[in-house]
Amino acid sequence: MRTHFTLTCVALLAALSIAPSARACGDHPSSADAGIAKQLESLDYEFEVDDDGDYRMIRDMDDDRTQLVFVISKVESYGVHKIREVWAPAYRSPEDDALPADIANRLLADSQDSKLGSWVKQGDMAVFVVKIAADASTPELKDAIEAAAKTADEMESDLTDGKDAF
């Protein structure tokens, strides 16, 4: 499982242009939000921090599957709103920087049905993103992580005939 984790992380890091060297839980870059580390630790979630300060974890799913999830440290703003994103990739396009139309339309329809989060295009990848308040409580963060992981893993399985790349 550790080999699967390492290969998956290296592949996604390359795809997202994130430097592949990650830090262990106790060694956070200055851009990492220490509050997130405390919340993840209180949930007993294993994680690593990448060079951008984002929290990366592999969640165990049903049927011996796993799902890669990121909690982004950087806080975004819109007016008075301060939000944090939780990402989970599900699909990598065989085309360079475009999602096939049938896949894109399926993701749009799924976004409409989603109660928490929506699909976005990140380069050649489809990523499920949940946006939560930057000061979200630990239970709210847990819900966001679980929603992102579950939604992305189910879509990945459907779109790739059960393959588990993320």
DSSP letters of 110-140?
A: HHHH-SS-EEEEETTEEEEEEEEETT--HHH
Query: Rounded CA gap, 22 and 97, in Å?
Result: 26
Q: Determine, yes or no, domain membership for 103.
A: yes
Domain count, the chain: 1
Alpha helical stretches, state H, the chain: 2-15, 34-42, 101-113, 138-159
Q: Determine, yes or no, domain membership for 165.
A: no
pLDDT computed for residue 15 by the predictor = 44
Q: Kindly tell me the number of DSSP H helices and DSSP E strands found in the chain.
A: 4, 8
The partner residues of 59 in beta bridges, in order of sequence, read: 67
At 89-123, the pLDDT tens digits run 999 998 778 899 999 999 999 999 999 999 999 99
| CATH code at position 99 | 3.30.1460.10
Q: Determine, yes or no, domain membership for 56.
A: yes
pLDDT computed for residue 28 by the predictor = 54
Q: Determine, yes or no, domain membership for 166.
A: no
Q: Determine, yes or no, domain membership for 36.
A: yes
Indicate the pTM of the whole model. Answer: 0.81
Domain that holds residue 155: 2-159
pLDDT band for 154, please (50, 70, 90 cuts): very high
Q: Determine, yes or no, domain membership for 164.
A: no
At 11-38, the pLDDT tens digits run 444 444 433 334 444 555 568 999 999 9
Q: Determine, yes or no, domain membership for 18.
A: yes
